[in-house]
Structure 1
Amino acid sequence: MIEMTDVTKTFVLRRRTGRGPRRERTPVRAVDGVTFTVDRGEFLGYLGPNGAGKSTTIKMLTGILTPTSGRIRVAGLDPSRARTTLARRIGVVFGQRTTLWWDLPLKDSLTLVRRLYRVEEHAYRTRLAELTALLELEPFLATPVRQLSLGQRMRGDLAAALLHDPELLVLDEPTIGLDVVSKATVRGFLARLNAERGTTILLTTHDLGDIERLCRRVMIIDHGRPAFDGDLAALRRAAGADRQLIVELAAPVPPVELDGVEVTGVEGPRQTLRLPDGANAASVVASLAARYEIRDIALRETGIEEIVARLYRGDQELSTPVSP
């Protein structure tokens, strides 16, 4: 569905030097030699800190921007040369912008979208009924867009992006600012769309809950270059994410001694143990139980948010290279 080969995008910043009209031209490479593919039916989470090149990548994939160099194909088309044709085969949702008409009722906005995409009347009615049920649009179809809550508007934008039944859905921060209930509705809909219809989805977000609940594959971009490509389990391994065993014993004892296990904290009867990579937690617990009386136990893994935050800050480097 998506092919990017050694793609770069360079912008030129013009800055005034001194008091005169002269301006200095400074090239800035927003995307720097990005190569990746996305198969049909994949759900890819595309992550990176602000300024990493995510939005620039999306704009090149949708034909809004032309790459400085490299090759891009989306659904077999060159986005910048076949933008109108491609628009009929993809859907795009920007969380901080709407494609709906502000003063029109939601249903009228969707009718206009239908005419823009030239969706046949019967197909439109069938698709609208399906989206209305899945996104729970019925209570506010007659409400002007300006009166919708953020969650309702986002569901309306999703419906507008999917009326023409696109092969690829590109989402930029689709859950930004949404409450817990609205997020759950949007996430459930996207998971179902991908699983049941096989729609390819590319998701950029700073809400890592979206990634954990939806994406089978994660790609991290930093300073315009890919830093990681794989699943969440591989990301945890590559980042050397810790697993910790919190054990509450019947009574305080000196730090426990087990081969390969490091005690990182002792608070009375409670001890925190760092498990080595690949260690079997059940075996460690069995060894502990054979030597100590255990009252309670919990296994804690480093959260995906903490892992990605470390990478963004540069506190930690990936221990394995980017997947091809």
Structure 2
Amino acid sequence: MLTSNRILIVDDVIDNIRVAMNFLKEDNYDLSFACGGEEALRLIRDNPAPFDLILLDIMMPGMDGFEVCRILKDNPRYQDVPIIFLTARVDVDSMAKGFTVGGVDYITKPFHADELLARVKTHIDLFHAKKILREHNIALEAKVAYERVRLLTELEENQKEMIFMLTELMESTSDETGKHIKRLSEISALLAKYHKSLSVHDMDMLYHASPMHDIGKMMIPKEILNKPGRLTEDEFNVIKSHTTNGYQLLCRSDRRIIKSAAVIAHEHHEKWDGSGYPRGLKGNDIHIYGRIVALADVFDALTHARCYKAVWSRDRVVDYIEGHRETQFDPELVDIFLGHVDEFFAIADLK
């Protein structure tokens, strides 16, 4: 059921109020009145729903119409409510002041029924049209925001799919046993899960970015990469270049996952004591993502056969990681590993 538009008439002369109300009743408005500025503000304060329009006299004792209008326009509920001044003053200065404080129109006294009804209807229609337009704009902005999030999510999902396909290709041409990359993702995410300074976002980022840690190996000759025997010093230096190669390949991206993958590729062979490569970073100067993938990569390598080594026993793996606490590995990450060792070996059993 449609409700009538609510109009407040403010005038210190009761006869003026009576005349205006008699005219406006013809259009079935819901009418209220006040005989002064202070009374009008009290009435407005006590009404939970704002009026749709205010007819406001200018010359009133105490608080004049200009001051009432100025106060109302400072109220967020009344910033858009149309205020029409009713006045016998038609000088340019008064009219200019009325528009300056927020009035939308002037009706001079004595007013005529047709003029009053026409102007009131016009401003109420404009008020509701602006309200509808504002609501539509809010809805449109929400729709645009949703669509933007959807597109960004779709782009990120496409990005993850491309990373997966690329890393699957890398794995198929390497000496590493099947599902190394899948296990590495799980191990890295598990270390992040139990790290007190990392969030669910970090877990997700490590899960999707860690598979790119060895992307630089695609630039290493296969005869060196898959050599079964011991590497020469020169060959090992070529192998070590995969960290810088991977970083240079990925670092130009502005995408979150690729930026994280660039850091991981660059730093996953750094060591806690500064003896790693390529930059000899030490301790917390190594990004936490690089420290996590460093431990995850070694753990997976030790628990699976490679062309240059056999599978290590569980005890030997644990002893190695514990023995390299504060030298090769972040001590906090080693403690996490030792505190949840069964969970890590459960991932290592994935085939």
TM-score normalized by the length of structure 2: 0.20
Q: Which has the higher helix share?
A: 2
Q: Which has the higher strand share?
A: 1
Give the structure with higher Rg (CA).
2
TM-score normalized by the length of structure 1: 0.22
